[in-house]
Structure 1
Amino acid sequence: MTKPESAGYDYDVVISGASLAGSAAAILLARRGVRVALLERRSDPEAYKVLCTHSITANAYPVLDELGLVPAIEKAGAVRNEARWYTRWGWIEPRAAPTGPELPYAYNIRRSILDPLIRSRASETPGVDLLLGHQVTGLVREAGRTTGVRASTPQGEREIRARLVVGADGKDSAVAKLADVPVQQYENARFGYLAHFRNLPLHGGIGQTWFLEPDMAYAFPNDDGVTVMAVLPDKKRLPAFREDLEGSFLSFIRALPEAPPIDSAERVTKIIGAVNYPLHSRKPTAPGVALIGDAALTGDPLWGVGCGWALQSAQWLAEAVAPAATGRGDLDRSLTVYERRHRRRLRGYQYLAADFATARPFNPVERLVFSAAARDDAAARHMHLFASRLISPLRFLNPVALAKASVVNIKHRRASVPPAHLSQTGA
Structure 2
Amino acid sequence: MISGASLAGSAAAILLARRGVRVALLERRSDPEAYKVLCTHSITANAYPVLDELGLIPAIEKAGALHNDARWYTRWGWIEPRAAPGGPELPYGYNIRRSTLDPLIRSHAAETPGVDLLLGHQVTGLVRETGRTVGVLASTPQGEREIRARLVVGADGKDSAVAKFAEVPTRLHENTRFGYLAHFRNLPLQGGIGQTWFLEPDMAYAFPNDDGVTVLAVLPDKKRLPAFKEDLEGSFLEFVRALPEAPPIDSAERITKIIGTVNYPLLTRDPTAPGIALIGDAALTGDPLWGVGCGWALQSAQWLAEAVASAAAGRGDLDRSLAAYARTHRRRLRGHQNLAVDFAKARAFNPGEQLMFSAAARDESMARHMYMFAARLIGPLRFLNPVAMAKAWAINIKHRGAAVPPAR
Q: TM-score range by the shorter chain?
A: over 0.9
How many Å apart are 1:413 and its aligned residue? 2.2
| 1:131 matches 2:118 | yes
Task: Give the structure 2 partner of residue 172 of structure 1.
Answer: 159
Select which of 358, 362, 378 maps to 1:391.
Answer: 378
Residue-by-residue CA offset, 1:109-151 (whole Å, 9 max, x unaligned): 0000000000000000000000000000000000000000000
Three-state SS of the structure 1 residue aligned to 2:399 is helix
| 1:266 matches 2:253 | yes
Task: Give the structure 1 partner of residue 82 of structure 2.
Answer: 95
Letter of the 1:292 partner, please give it: I
Select which of 162, 167, 171 maps to 1:184.
Answer: 171
Q: How many residues align?
A: 403
Residue-by-residue CA offset, 1:301-358 (whole Å, 9 max, x unaligned): 0000000000000000000000000110000000000000000000000000000000
Three-state SS of the structure 2 residue aligned to 1:413 is coil
Three-state SS of the structure 2 residue aligned to 1:217 is strand
Three-state SS of the structure 2 residue aligned to 1:239 is helix
Letter of the 2:243 partner, please give it: L
How many Å apart are 1:209 and its aligned residue? 0.1
What does 1:4-403 correspond to in 2, within 5 Å?
14-403=1-390
In structure 1, distance between residues paired with 2:201 and 2:399:
25
Task: Give the structure 2 partner of residue 7 of structure 1.
Answer: none
In structure 2, distance between residues paired with 1:326 and 1:25:
14
In structure 2, distance between residues paired with 1:352 and 1:183:
18
Task: Give the structure 2 partner of residue 407 of structure 1.
Answer: 394
In structure 1, distance between residues paired with 2:61 and 2:111:
20
How many Å apart are 1:412 and its aligned residue? 1.8
Residue-by-residue CA offset, 1:183-209 (whole Å, 9 max, x unaligned): 010000000000000000000000000
Residue-by-residue CA offset, 1:245-295 (whole Å, 9 max, x unaligned): 000000000000000000000000000000000000000000000000000
Structure of higher CA gyration radius:
1
In structure 2, distance between residues paired with 1:183 and 1:395:
28
Letter of the 1:233 partner, please give it: P
In structure 2, distance between residues paired with 1:191 and 1:72:
34
Runs of 4+ in 1 over 3 A off after TM superposition: none
Task: Give the structure 2 partner of residue 423 of structure 1.
Answer: none
In structure 2, distance between residues paired with 1:191 and 1:106:
26
Three-state SS of the structure 2 residue aligned to 1:374 is helix
Task: Give the structure 2 partner of residue 8 of structure 1.
Answer: none
**Mind listing any 5+ residue stretches in structure 1 that lack a counterpart?**
1-13, 418-427
In structure 2, distance between residues paired with 1:283 and 1:388:
24
Residue identity over aligned pairs, in percent, reads 85
Three-state SS of the structure 1 residue aligned to 2:191 is helix
In structure 1, distance between residues paired with 2:9 and 2:183:
26
In structure 2, distance between residues paired with 1:149 and 1:413:
62
Letter of the 2:381 partner, please give it: L
Q: TM-score, normalised by structure 1?
A: 0.94
Instruction: Name the Cα RMSD after superposition.
Output: 0.7
Three-state SS of the structure 1 residue aligned to 2:78 is strand
Letter of the 1:271 partner, please give it: I
In structure 1, distance between residues paired with 2:87 and 2:322:
39
Letter of the 1:191 partner, please give it: F
In structure 1, distance between residues paired with 2:31 and 2:127:
26
Residue-by-residue CA offset, 1:212-263 (whole Å, 9 max, x unaligned): 0000000000000000000000000000110000000000000000000000
In structure 1, distance between residues paired with 2:55 and 2:387:
38
In structure 2, distance between residues paired with 1:238 and 1:305:
24
